[in-house]
Amino acid sequence: MVSIRSFMAGIRNRVILLRWRKKKKTHSVLRDKWRESTAGILPIAALVLLLCGLAVPLPVDALAAFGFATLLLMCGMTLFNQGTEMSMTPIGQSIGLAVTRGQKTALILFSGFLTGFLVTVAEPDLTVLAGQVADVPNLILILCVALGVGVFLSVAMLRILKRIPLRRLLFLSYGLVFALALLAPKSFLAVAFDSGGVTTGPMTVPFILGFGLGISAIRNDENSENDSFGLVALASVGPILAVMALGMIYHPEKTDTALVRLTRAPHSMALFDTFVRALPYYLKEVALALAPIVCFFLFFEFTALHIRGARLRHILIGLVYTYAGLVIFLLGVNVGFMPAGFFIGEAIGSAGIRWLLVPLGMVIGWFIVSAEPAVQVLTQQVYEITAGAVPKKALSLSLSVGVSISVGLAMLRVLTGIPIMAFLVPGYAIAFALTFFTQDVFTAIAFDSGGVASGPMTATFLLPLAMGACSAAGSDITENAFGVVAMVAMTPLITIQIMGCIWGRRRRGQRGLVLAPKEEIIEF
């Protein structure tokens, strides 16, 4: 009896030890995610506080709301990043693997279209942008953009299956974009290019990247994982074309926009109540955003995937993290950050320090890209697939440089009224010229990065900042303030490909990037 009791006690102690180690590992991962989140958000908050103390007198209640929103952003991003790593990417990857088992091209293309359509309708960034364009009903704009993403995601699937070079499709797609830009209404151009950036946000990117990895598994050649990149790049083209075509149908003379105002609160309880009253809206919005993806996953789970046990629990817990994180993140961004951005832009634009917008925008752009949730997902994906050949710091530095330049140019447009095409045409010309001097995988990563860099932080802080400055200066908000997202999506194409050229020279003599073994990619 003593030996049996000792044996059972040893097993029990072993189980307790394993649970403690698992819990410790989870806490360690969350702690790392927290550090990544604070590193991206705290510099922006510090810069805003410094600006409010020296140049822009932000009301105390609005400043308190901004401070509380900063805390919400850090908590929300921590949970969201952990949740997408546990759920969104594995779900997309599992479905991608499932639809390739029969190797039926028609099924794969239809799945790509349906995936792109559903996750785009669910994208919170698109809802924010649609609310800013008053001349077109929100639902029509959202469905039009979702249709564009679905079609071009199917094209991206076909590219992976048929091994079509990404450069060729990008040349054709953007050639069509700039040709259609000659016919589309001038007032709709900036909105159209912005729609291409906001559709690849925190909800869309993890799912699409995982889906691309699953589809690429049907091929066994050495470049299959390389070709899993480029999906976000092509998915960003569809909305631009769709919104331009929509503008030609509606023929708006001038697109009205909704201006954001500070929410005033006489005391702390009223300020806290502002966040509490806004919470149900974002609980509903994020639930509606996640519902199509969850239903899509459950359909495949019962028909093809049959995931069981700890792996299924891991995904379900990740979905809870994703939901909670995105609710908290969007609550902080929309209630605290968006009004502060508009007020600061309006205050600077109406004062004699309008020139401050350009350097201020560049500094904010440098840090704000690190606070985008989808950027964290992409950098982790690139690091894993290339087995560390593309370090996170190098990719993050290239993104920060690109976004800093783009925001500075966008603020210059606000001050001078220079047409957006004067920047986009030469910018994309340089980006496409660089595709001939860098490896294909860097081209795909660069064009993907352009989409993920323009997420909720850009749409809800930088865009209101530009709108506030335009409102104070009396210039056209639609033509001069809109386009910030498009500029942010353009410059990373250049800076990351330049990084690829430098990296290629350092690794001259090697045939290409060293990729992670395939079993490491499809295991969760």
Q: Note the pLDDT tens digit of each residue in 188-238.
A: 788 888 888 777 776 777 777 777 777 776 666 666 666 667 788 888 899
Question: Does the predicted model carry a pTM greater than 0.85?
Answer: no
CB of 131 closer than 8 Å to CB of 94:
no
pLDDT in tens, 88-143: 778 877 887 777 776 677 888 888 888 888 888 877 678 777 766 766 777 788 88
| pLDDT recorded at residue 174 | 92
pLDDT in tens, 491-508: 888 988 888 888 777 766
| pLDDT recorded at residue 263 | 63
Give residue 2's pLDDT band: very low, low, confident or very high (50, 70, 90).
Answer: very low
C-alpha closest to that of 461 among 338, 360, 366: 338
Which range, of 198-202, 413-417, 465-469, averages the lowest pLDDT?
198-202
Is residue 50 assigned to a domain?
A: no
User: Is a pLDDT exceeding 80 seen at residue 15?
Assistant: no
| pLDDT recorded at residue 264 | 64
Is residue 305 assigned to a domain?
A: yes
Is residue 318 assigned to a domain?
A: yes
| pLDDT recorded at residue 522 | 36
254: Cβ–Cβ under 8 A, 6 or more apart, which residues? 135, 187, 476, 478
Is residue 466 assigned to a domain?
A: yes
pLDDT in tens, 274-304: 889 989 988 988 888 788 888 888 888 888 8
- Once rounded to an integer, what is the mean pLDDT over residues 404-408? 89
**Residue 252 has what DSSP assignment?**
-
User: Is a pLDDT exceeding 70 seen at residue 255?
Assistant: no
Q: How far is CA 115 from CA 87, 170, 322, 323, in A?
A: 16, 21, 18, 19
Is residue 449 assigned to a domain?
A: yes
User: Is a pLDDT exceeding 80 seen at residue 71?
Assistant: yes
| pLDDT recorded at residue 479 | 76
CB of 154 closer than 8 Å to CB of 112:
yes
Q: What percent of the chain has pLDDT over 90?
A: 7
pLDDT in tens, 309-359: 888 888 999 999 989 988 998 888 888 888 888 888 888 877 777 888 888
Is residue 52 assigned to a domain?
A: no
300-322 burial: b if 16+ Cβ within 10 Å, else e: bbeeebebeeeeeeebeebbebb
Query: Which of the pair, 54 or 7, is modelled with greater confidence?
Result: 54
Query: Which of the pair, 411 or 479, is modelled with greater confidence?
Result: 411
Terminal Cα distance for the chain, rounded? 42
Is residue 455 assigned to a domain?
A: yes
Domain with 483 in it: 65-522
Tokens for 155? Answer: 């094209």
Number of domains in the chain: 1
Query: Which of the pair, 220 or 436, is modelled with greater confidence?
Result: 436
| pLDDT recorded at residue 176 | 92
For the chain, the average pLDDT equals 78
| pLDDT recorded at residue 172 | 92
User: Is a pLDDT exceeding 60 seen at residue 250?
Assistant: yes
| pLDDT recorded at residue 258 | 53
Give residue 20's pLDDT band: very low, low, confident or very high (50, 70, 90).
Answer: very low
Is residue 502 assigned to a domain?
A: yes
User: Is a pLDDT exceeding 50 seen at residue 363?
Assistant: yes
Determine phi and psi for 508, rounding to 5 degrees: -60, 135
Query: Which of the pair, 8 or 238, is modelled with greater confidence?
Result: 238
User: Is a pLDDT exceeding 90 seen at residue 252?
Assistant: no
